[in-house]
Amino acid sequence: MSLFTFAKTEFHNLFSRPVTEQYPQKPKQFKERTRGHIENNIDLCILCGMCARKCPSNAITVNRAERTWEIRPFSCVQCGSCVENCPKKCLSMCQSYTRPGPEQTARLLRKPQPAAKPQPAAKPKFSAAPAPVGKSAS
C-alpha cells in the first residue's frame, strides 16, 4: 500500500503543456479518412436511386420525375454505404461535420434538363408518288 502514487502524474501535468485542443479559436484539423458529410456531383448523377435504397436511415430521397436528389444531413449516419454502391461514383464522403442548428435542414440538388438535341430533317411521308422517269420494262 502506498500513499503518493498519483503524485508523479500530478507533477508531470503541472509542468507540461496542456493537452487541450483550443477548438473554437483554432479550427479543427480533420484526418484523411474522417467521415463527415456526403456531397453529390449532380452533373454525373443518373438519379438511379441506388443510394436511397441502400441508406440505413433513409436520409436520401431521389425523385426522377422532378429530377431532384435530396439529402437530410440530420438523418445521415455517415456510414458510406451510398458512396460504395453508387454506379457512377458521383457521391463522395467529405471530412467536415454538419454544423448544429435550430432546425433540421435538408439539401436539395436539382439536375438540369439536358440541352435539346438538334432534330434531324423530317423524312417525307410515304405517298403514291409517280413512278420515276427512266428505264421502263419493255
Partner 1 sequence: MKLSKSPWVLHYDGSSCNGCDLEILDSTTPVYDVERFGVVNTGNPKHADIFLITGGINAQNAPVVKQLYSQMPDPKVVVAVGICACDGGVFKDCYNILGGVNKVIPVDIYVPGCAVKPEAVIDGLRKAAELLDQKQKQMKKKRAAARKEG
Partner 2 sequence: MSTRSVVPFGPHHPVLPEPIHLDLVLEDEKVVDVIPSIGFIHRGLEKLVEKRDFRDFVYVAERMCGICSFMHGMSYCEAVEHIMGVELPPRAKYLRTIWCELSRLHSHLLWLGLLADAFGFESLFMQCWRLREKILDMFEASTGGRLIFSVNKIGGQRRDMDNAMLHGFVEKLGGLEEDLKGITSTFLANSAVNSRLKGVGYMTKKMAQEYGVAGPFMRASGIARDTRKLGYDAYGDLNFEPITSTEGDCYARTQVRVRELFQSIDLIRQAVAKIPEGPVAVPIRGFPKGEYMVRVEQPRGEAIYYVKANGTKFLDRFRVRTPTFANVPAMIELMKGCRLSEIPMLILTIDPCVSCIER
**What residue ranges bind partner 2 (CB under 8 A)?**
1-3, 5-6, 8-10, 13, 19, 31-35, 54, 56, 77-81, 84, 93
The strand pair at 37-40 and 91-94 is best described as: antiparallel
Contacts of 69 by beta carbon, 8 Å cutoff, 6+ apart: 40, 42, 45, 47, 60, 61, 62, 63, 108, 109, 111
Spatial CA neighbour of 76 closest among 101, 44, 105: 105
Beta carbon nearer to partner 2, 89 or 110: 89
What Å distances lie between residue 31 and 40, 72, 93, 96, 99, CA to CA?
Answer: 21, 24, 13, 10, 18
Binding site for partner 1 (CB under 8 A): 18-21, 23-24, 28, 56-58, 72-78, 97-104
User: Least distance to partner 1 from the beta carbon of 89, Å?
Assistant: 23
Q: Which of the choices partner 1, partner 2, none does residue 100 contact, using the CB cut-off of 5 to 8 A by kind?
A: partner 1
Beta carbon nearer to partner 2, 9 or 22: 9
Return the C-alpha cell found at 80: 458510406
Beta carbon nearer to partner 2, 2 or 138: 2
User: Least distance to partner 1 from the beta carbon of 32, Å?
Assistant: 16
User: Least distance to partner 2 from the beta carbon of 99, Å?
Assistant: 18
